[in-house]
Structure formats: structure tokens, C-alpha cells
A and B are shown apart, each in its own frame.
Chain A
Amino acid sequence: MKMVMTGNYASAYGAKVCRAEVISAYPITPQTSVVEKIASLVSSGEMKAQFVNVESEHSAMAALISASMTGARTYTATSSHGLLLMHELLIWAAGARTPIVMSNICRANGPPWSVWADHHDAMAQRDTGWMQVFCEGNQEVLDSIIMSYKLAERPDIRLPSMINEDAFILSHTVEPVDVPDMELVDEFLPSYNPRFKLDVDEPYGFGSLVMPDMYMEFRYKINEAMEAARQGWRDVEKDFEKTFGRNHGGLVEFYNCEDADAVLLIMGSVASTAKDVVDKLCSEGKKVGMARLRVYRPFPVEEIRKLAGMTNIIGICDHSYTFGHWGPMAQEVRGALYGIADQPVMKNYIIGLGGKDMTPEILEKIFLKTLALKDGADQEIEWIGVKGLGGW
């Protein structure tokens, strides 16, 4: 049924239609209404689940790891400092191969204190072994939860998945969202039933110490699963489209990229606004395109190389940064394109930190700057909109 709802409610309904059985969460702005909604769905009986109240995000993830190990389908949501507090257990969840699905409402880290959107919280979890999806709209938020369970629970994948939605821009903005029938979701998503689980009738010990002769083997298995998840996402998206009649572009969504003179590569909700800007500039005769990096882990190397074959100039817009060396996406894109023939001209833009609004006008300026880039002529990186810097 199509309804008007926020990204946070879309997250809650995503957990509901997937029949998540154990939810554990700790409230934090701007995630709170996700768990408020789930709590009310559980208390009204609309959702058959155990809601575990905990005293921190660290405990929430610990509760879900245990619950997932019993074979339950699990869900949580957090944001910013809550996600940072979870960090230790995110690594544990991946190592324990628990297919937990979590919504992260992407919010800047403090200080300075900020409740507004950027991707610094999520980027700091890059190496935890979680799959990471970045959404541009509320429908995608809901659909990505369904797709995540499907892939995360696959016996050869068995990795947790993090769905990232921008603070307020999605979390608190209402849009029309189609909530699929649970019967249809049931058809798409079989129940989760791992071979080895925490079970008093058939006891096993999990996560024990291994000696140095075996540790790398287990880590390699995580990596192997993550590499397989790359094709996995492409397949799941195809299956999803067959059942639900929509897709969100695979690992990288290409918008008008073929034969574009310049393309901006963007993650998250800013990509949506950028599509309007692409249309405007194209109507003025400028050949620009936009590529939206949707799945950040596993990193879509093939799609990025394909993009390099479509255009001569790529502006890489990081909604985050790594102090001392470029934005994280720029590092990865440049790494993925290392050594290929006809490497495009690339420039890194740091955009929208702490909720600095990415208006169509600012995006148009970035497109025009990027179109004007000549091979090797510009600097590597520019922070967009910093007062007193670069003419802003």
C-alpha cells in the first residue's frame, strides 16, 4: 500500500514486512522515531517481535548478535555517536557471521555537536565487515532492508548489512512510499534457519580462540563472502525487481553517464537533487551525468571501471572526509582505477558536512567546475562551501 511517510517510518515498516523477530535499540537523534514506531507496532500486536530495551548501542548490538545466533531475524537502528559506540561489536557481528540488518541514520560526529547529515559515522565503519548501502529516497530505504535480509542470510554470504539514510533529509522527510504486502515479502524472503545456532538442545560453543595457524583462514572467509556479495547484490536486485517491480540501480546507478563530458559521483540523498541539476544542464546543451554509488561495501570496482569508460572527467563528491588524505570514496575510486588505460581526470569534492545544504545551485557550480577540469591542471581536492576558502 502506498503511504506518505518519513524515512524513519519506512525503516520501521521495512523491519515489519521482513518479520524481524528481535529488535534491540537505544534512542538517539535522529533515529528515535524508527524505534518508537517499531515499539508501537510491537505493543499493538501488529508486529510479532521481541523488543529488547538496553542501556546503550553497544548492548543493543550485543543483544542482536546473541539473538541472531539463535537463528532469529534481527534489526536495529542507530546514528552517529551511537554507531561509533557500537564499533567493537560491529566487528564481532561480522566475525560471528550474524546477518543482522541495521539502519544507520547518517549524522555528523561531534564536536562541534551536530545532529545533521553527513557520512562520517558510516565511513568510520568501513572495515568492520558490514555490507553498506546508501539510499537516496525513502522507498529505497524500505526496499534495501528487504534486499539486505535476502542477501545477508544467504548461506555463502552470512554478513550483516547496514542501510544508510541521511539524517533529516530522509529520516524526517515524508515522501510517498509503497509498503509491500507481507505475503509478497514472504515469497521473496524465506525464513532464516542457520545450521549451527545457539540451542540448548544441541549445544555448541561459538567465537572461540583460534591459534595463529587458523586465524587468517577465518578472516579470508569473511573477505570471500564480501567479494561474493558484489555479484550477490546485482542478483538480489534483479530478483527484487521481478517480485516488486522496481529497482534502485544496482551497485552504482548511472544517470545520463554515457558519453558525458563530466560526471559527478555521489552517495546518498544529494544524488537525488543532482539528477534535477543534470536535467537542467543537459537542457542547456551541457553534457553532464551523475553516478550514484549505492553499495559502498562490497566496493563496486567493475561499475567504477565501467564509469571511467563512459566519461573523461569524474568529480568524486565525498559526504565525508579522512583527515589528512582525501575523502574515503575518492581514495577507493582512485584505487579502483589505478593502472587502467585512459584514466579519467578526477577531482575530489568534500560536500555537505554537518548538514550544509547541497542546493541545486551549489551542485550546478560543482558540475561547471568539473566540466572545466583539464588533465592534471587542477588540485586534487576541494572543500565545497567553506567560508573563506576557494571563493566561497
Chain B
Amino acid sequence: MTKEELKGVYKTYQDLPLTPITSVNSSSNRTGFWKTNKPVLDESKCIKCNICWKFCPDVAISMNDDEFPKFDLGHCKGCGICAHECPKDAITMVMEGDVA
């Protein structure tokens, strides 16, 4: 069975591998549409302390050196932990549809 076949549709039990095997990782599972609220950053308050990046349970925040945090909205489920943990209240959770 090849990687391509693993992605196939199974018609009978005989088409299945011995045990459930997935050839894709969870980054391809787009969970971003589960959220009601999304995080919005106020760059004037942000001190680039990394705390939001550390706390994000979905690894949906990326940070490079000397850059502001970026939210991966394709995976962010809108839990608001980043906003809760931010020591400078630089992150606000806003309802998706309400953002201009």
C-alpha cells in the first residue's frame, strides 16, 4: 500500500491497512472555522514577550525574532487563552463577522 493509496476511499475491510495509519499530519486539518472569536493584536501594546506563543494550545501562533506574533487563523479555534495570558492586554478577542 502506497502513501497515495492510504488517502483512498475504502470499499471493503480488505482495502484497509492492518491498523489505522494516517499519512498526513494535523496541520492539514483546518480547524480554523470552528471559532466564533478571533484574536486581534494591538501592536502598540505588544512587547514581543512570547507568552502568547508559549500558551497557544493549538500551535497557531508563530513568532520570529523581533517580529510581532502572527495568528494562523486557519488553525486558531478562538479559545482566547492568548488574550487571557497576555501581560499587556495587547490581544483582544473579537467576533469574526464583526471585524471591519
Contacts and interface: CB of A to CB of B under 8 A. Distances in A.
Report A-B touching, CB under 8 Å: yes
A154 B98 CA distance: 59
B16 A218 contact: yes
B54 to A, nearest CB: 25
A221 interface: yes
A207 B19 contact: yes
A73 interface: no
Nearest to A97: B18
Contacts of B18: 97, 158, 221
Contacts of B6: 204
Interface stretch (B21-29, B57-65, B68-76): B21-29
Contacts of A112: none
A207 B20 contact: yes
Contacts of A217: 10, 12-13, 16
Interface in B1-59: 1, 6, 10, 12-13, 16-25
A218 B18 CA distance: 7
Contacts of B24: 205
A214 interface: yes
Contacts of B16: 214, 217-218, 221
A97 B20 CA distance: 10
Q: Which of A203, A204, A217, A221 has the most chain B CB atoms inside 10 A of its CB? A: A204
Contact of B19 (A96, A203, A209, A220): A96
B1 A206 contact: no
A196 B23 CA distance: 10
A208 B1 contact: no
Contacts of A221: 13, 16, 18
Given A195-B1, A220-B13, A95 B22 contact: no
Which bucket holds chain A's interface residue count?
10 to 19
A205 B13 contact: no
Contacts of B10: 214, 217
A204 B21 contact: yes
Interface in A45-100: 95-97
B20 A206 contact: yes
A207 B17 CA distance: 11
A210 interface: yes
Nearest to B2: A195
A220 B10 CA distance: 15
Contacts of A203: 25
Contacts of B22: 204-206, 208
A205 B21 contact: yes
A196 B16 CA distance: 13
A168 to B, nearest CB: 37
Interface string A161-199: 000000000000000000000000000000000011000
Interface string A232-270: 000000000000000000000000000000000000000
A90 to B, nearest CB: 15
Contacts of B19: 95-97, 206-207, 218
A221 B20 CA distance: 12
B48 to A, nearest CB: 32
18 contacts: A97-B18, A195-B1, A196-B21, A205-B22, A205-B23, A206-B19, A207-B20, A208-B20, A208-B22, A209-B20, A214-B10, A217-B12, A217-B16, A218-B13, A218-B16, A218-B19, A218-B20, A221-B13
Interface of B: 1, 6, 10, 12-13, 16-25
7 closest residue pairs by CB, A with B: A217-B13, A205-B22, A97-B18, A208-B20, A97-B19, A204-B21, A96-B19
Interface of A: 95-97, 158, 195-196, 203-210, 214, 217-218, 220-221
